[in-house]
Chains A and B, each alone.
Chain A
Amino acid sequence: MTTTLSDFERIKAKSNYLRGTIVEGLADPVTGAISDDDNKLLKFHGSYLQDDRDLREERRQQKLEPAYAFMLRARLPGGVVTPAQWLVFDRIAQEYANGTLRITTRQTFQWHGIIKRKLKPTIAAIHDALAGTIAACGDVVRNVVSTANPIESAAHAEAYAWAVQLSAELAPKTRAYHEIWLDGEALIGEPESTVAEREPLYGATYLPRKFKIGLAIPPLNDIDVFSQDLGLVAIIEAGTLRGFNVAIGGGMGATHGDPTTYPRLASVIGFVTPQQLFAVAETIVRIQRDWGNRSERKHARLKYTLDHRGLDVFKAELQARLGFTLEPTRPHHFEHSGDRYGWVEGHDGRWHLTLHIESGRLADVGTNRWLTGLRELAKVHTGDFRMTCNQNVIVANVTAADRARIDAIAHEYGLDGYLRQTGIRRHAIACVALPTCGLAMAESERYLPGLLPKLEWLLDQHGLADAPILLRLSGCPNGCSRPYLGEIALVGRGPGRYDLRLGADFSGQRLNTVYRENVDEAAILAALDPLFVRYAAERAPSEGFGDFLLSSGLLHNDRATTGVARQIPLQVLA
């Protein structure tokens, strides 16, 4: 059986290592867009072309093209940002973007609304702040995330260091990024034979699809380690990092109405020492490069490669290529996948303040002047900032003497909501969706502020205002907000309509399942209310909402509990 390569593979192959005609497209004054082919390549540089979907019809009638603007995403391994960098990123938001900063579910910043002629100066400004955007999107290893654990500072430092090193090691090596954005000199007249050496890991066509790596330090699973293509669970014994349990093949994306696509939790295949980590990570990436499906992009993630080839076959190939076998998995235990809000003291006497940022959107709206507040914090803060995969920010490494000053700023700008918020509000995540995301089928970030009070009211009726419940909103089934790991999740189907999914656990180790399909808000609230009633009355002490739904028999979650392997169509693997 033969299948042709996907069009995206053709574009990559003829792109000359991600150059394409991006430079020419940026210079074209007739349009605020770039070509479709170049837009696919641009993702590898950390940017997507988007448009304001609210304005499409109006502008069409005005004979104007859509209001094109670019989303730009930083590559910030481990989500750590210095105050100096923060001030630069904040200035970029105001000067080049739409006046907001967006913390993503992968611990980094996104800017929205950057028009074409400002894209290059924006990337240059990010570069000047000693950060970059290369490979923040695209078919490559993305921003490597790591637990933002502020308490075990030594462990965090070690995990962060690995995230940074993995990120650097696995980043694309093409000079295209420097040439296009930073006026780096093109390597002219290079002989053809050296071309392959430009991407020793990826080759000319990079990976079949995106590849996400995350590193968790138990008992915190704030990065949702089992949603990663490659999840690493740090094993710390007696205060020493012994190595990592390796989990492969996690992924959130799916397509409505296509059962051959599905979210999948990563499978734990063994333990590696720190010395083995790079070789193992790189070899897993290489096998996915060689085996992944390059015909059908929706079957191209590592999770499908594993289910198609078989986990055992993949592991055998991995060990054969490595020349050693993985050690047996070591015990680990996760408590939860959320963030701990407020102040915590680290082992070295430094203090860390986790602030709740709804949907990760830093903007000045009414009395919540969060963008300005974080800017004011950055002006006086002497430690660092850490973004979390739950779209929040930690003001980290604060001396005891500085706490009062930090608190005062947080209070002044409305950043201290974590002190009063309900359990569900503190555990809500929403993707961007409309109006900028081209994939969105329904509202998400803009819907959360309207939905939350209704859920809070229902919960409060049953004495559940403080119950921590993981709520995840997604405008489409692709899963940026990791909706399949929400105890309650809404996955957009169309305007105002969602699949209601229930029954994930509280620590990111069990997927949820569809409870109501393609329903509106009234149906969602009507479906949840009786479940809240039962939960309030019957739950075991400290039993989470998702766990309760299964233990009470209110929900049957066959797929998540049995882990049934799925069949996907055979494909020729290029």
Chain B
Amino acid sequence: MTHDSRTLTLTQWLTHEREITRLHRAFVATLAATGGHAELARVLQPEHAADFAALLASDQPIDLLRRYPAAWRAEALVAALRPLAPRLYSIASSPKLVGEEVHLTVAVIDYEAHGNPHWGAASAFLATIGEDGKVPVFVESNERFHLPADSSRDIIMIGPGTGVAPFRAFVQERQESGASGRNWLFFGNRHFAQDFLYQTEWQEALKQGALHRLDLAFSRDQSHKTYVQDRLREQGAELYAWLQSDAQIYVCGDSAHMAKDVHAALIDVVAAHGGQSSDDAAAWLNELLQQGRYARDVY
């Protein structure tokens, strides 16, 4: 079938060209109109924005197609779906150590919802493609998130979950290049037993002196949930001392909650250990952000 003057089979369109795991407003609108679904039309109205946001968070296009039947022609369906957007991953390795390889840290999205299995488009693709599979890739550099030019500076890395990816690359790079600055990693995830990403590598890095401090927060291992921001507060005095001696600070990972909670914790740490008001602490951190001494890569 032809769309945008390109002719592919429907399978090819859906497999390689269209966004089929993420909902967007135009698709919902088209479905509401095509099927005449009043409920869908309702959530599209501005006064029901909260319901719409909830729908975006909980459903994939396939869920709506199942729930709200409509007479689709293949061309119309392909037209209603957005083009597949590239997924950006942090590179989790240093070419100084791994040469021509590029390592990624990918959380495979795989869950049950509405009685059916659901997958992430890119993560499921990568998880199932096999060792000889070919993946179209490009490199997009992030000028605001890189190691300090002065390798004697200390770095503080806050990267829970897959946010740890760039820090694996940082530590590899600093070890291979013989950087003299200290490296401090804050990592968190749900369970120590299953979710301690790169555990054996961090253990080895600690032994070799390539990683100087590692603080961990596993949220589901005890009744009271603990996160990296709790560790930041616990280590506040030491953390502030590092910042005072010109340490670079990085945050990578979830933007919805983690980055905000970590930022709030940093304000608390600076306020408590720098003897400042929260406003002054926040202002100072904003300065660091402006200067690039505090860098974030959140998604």
Contacts and interface: CB of A to CB of B under 8 A. Distances in A.
A-B complex is real: yes
Interface string A37-75: 000000000000000000000001001110100000000
Contacts of B206: 30
Given A30-B202, A30-B203, A67 B214 contact: no
B193 A29 contact: no
Contacts of A65: 199-200, 203
A63 B214 contact: no
Given A30-B216, A32-B192, A32-B193, A64 B200 contact: yes
Contacts of A64: 194, 196, 199-200
Contacts of B198: 63
A115 interface: yes
A444 to B, nearest CB: 26
A67 B203 contact: no
Contacts of A117: 221
A389 B202 CA distance: 44
B201 interface: yes
Interface string A393-434: 000000000000000000000000000000000000000000
A31 B203 contact: yes
Contacts, number: 28
Contacts of A31: 199, 203
Interface in B200-227: 200-203, 206, 214, 216, 221
A67 B199 CA distance: 12
Residue of A30, A32, A60, A67 most packed against chain B (CB within 10 A): A30
A29 B202 CA distance: 12
Given A29-B216, A63-B198, A115 B193 contact: yes
Contacts of A60: 200
A63 B216 contact: no
Interface size class of A (residues with CB under 8 A): 10 to 19
B75 to A, nearest CB: 44
A63 B200 contact: yes
Nearest to B187: A30
A185 B157 CA distance: 38
Nearest to A60: B200
Interface string A149-165: 00000000000000000
B199 A63 contact: yes
Contacts of B201: 63
A67 B201 CA distance: 16
Contacts of B193: 32, 67, 115
Nearest to A117: B221
Interface string A104-133: 000000000001010000000000000000
Contacts of A63: 197-201
B196 to A, nearest CB: 6
Nearest to B221: A117
Interface string B55-77: 00000000000000000000000
Interface string A63-102: 1110100000000000000000000000000000000000
Contacts of A32: 192-193
Contacts of B196: 64
Interface string A528-545: 000000000000000000
A30 B194 CA distance: 13
Contacts of A115: 193
A45 B258 CA distance: 42
A115 B222 CA distance: 13
Contacts of B202: 30
B214 A30 contact: yes
B171 to A, nearest CB: 14
A32 B199 CA distance: 11
Interface of A: 29-32, 60, 63-65, 67, 115, 117
Nearest 5 A/B pairs, CB to CB: A29-B216, A63-B200, A64-B199, A63-B198, A65-B199
Given A29-B192, A63-B200, 12 more contacts: A30-B199, A30-B203, A30-B216, A32-B192, A32-B193, A63-B197, A63-B199, A64-B194, A64-B196, A65-B199, A65-B200, A117-B221
5 contacts: A32-B192, A63-B199, A63-B201, A64-B194, A64-B199
